[in-house]
Amino acid sequence: MGSFSLIHWIILGIIILLLFGGNRFSAMMSDVAKGLKSFKKGLSEEDEERAREEQQRSLPRNADRPIDVTPEPRRDTVTPPPPPSDERTGG
């Protein structure tokens, strides 16, 4: 008693189209579609922001700076040999 059959849904659809007109109905549906798209976009931006925050927490503090990969000049830790002695002069 409380359910609609297919014929009832078709009649209801025709009445709605007659009341609102084809142009208004399509405009309303496009507005609904835009609203759904903006809602999904907002959800995805929120997810990206949350992932970015989690990544920031997992990185060390100076991770926002680029890594310096320039080689440092080589420093010899070995002491230089003493100057050669002058054995020929007997000195």
Per-residue model confidence as pLDDT tens digits over 7-45 = 999 999 888 888 877 777 778 888 999 999 999 998 888
pLDDT of residue 29: 84
Look-up of token digits 């830790």: 77
pLDDT exceeds cutoff 90 at 57:
no
Chain Cα centroid distance, residue 43: 12
Residue 86 is assigned to a structural domain of this protein: no
CA distance 22 to 31: 14
Among 29, 33, 1, 32, residue whose Cα is nearest residue 13 = 29
Domain of residue 18, residue span: 8-60
Residue 33 is assigned to a structural domain of this protein: yes
Residue 27 is assigned to a structural domain of this protein: yes
The CA-CA-CA angle for residues 82, 86, 90, to 5°, reads 135
Residue 13 is assigned to a structural domain of this protein: yes
Q: Could you give the number of structural domains in the chain? A: 1
pLDDT of residue 45: 87
Residue 53 is assigned to a structural domain of this protein: yes
Give per-residue burial for 66-79: e unless 16+ CB within 10 Å, then b.
eeeeeeeeeeeeee
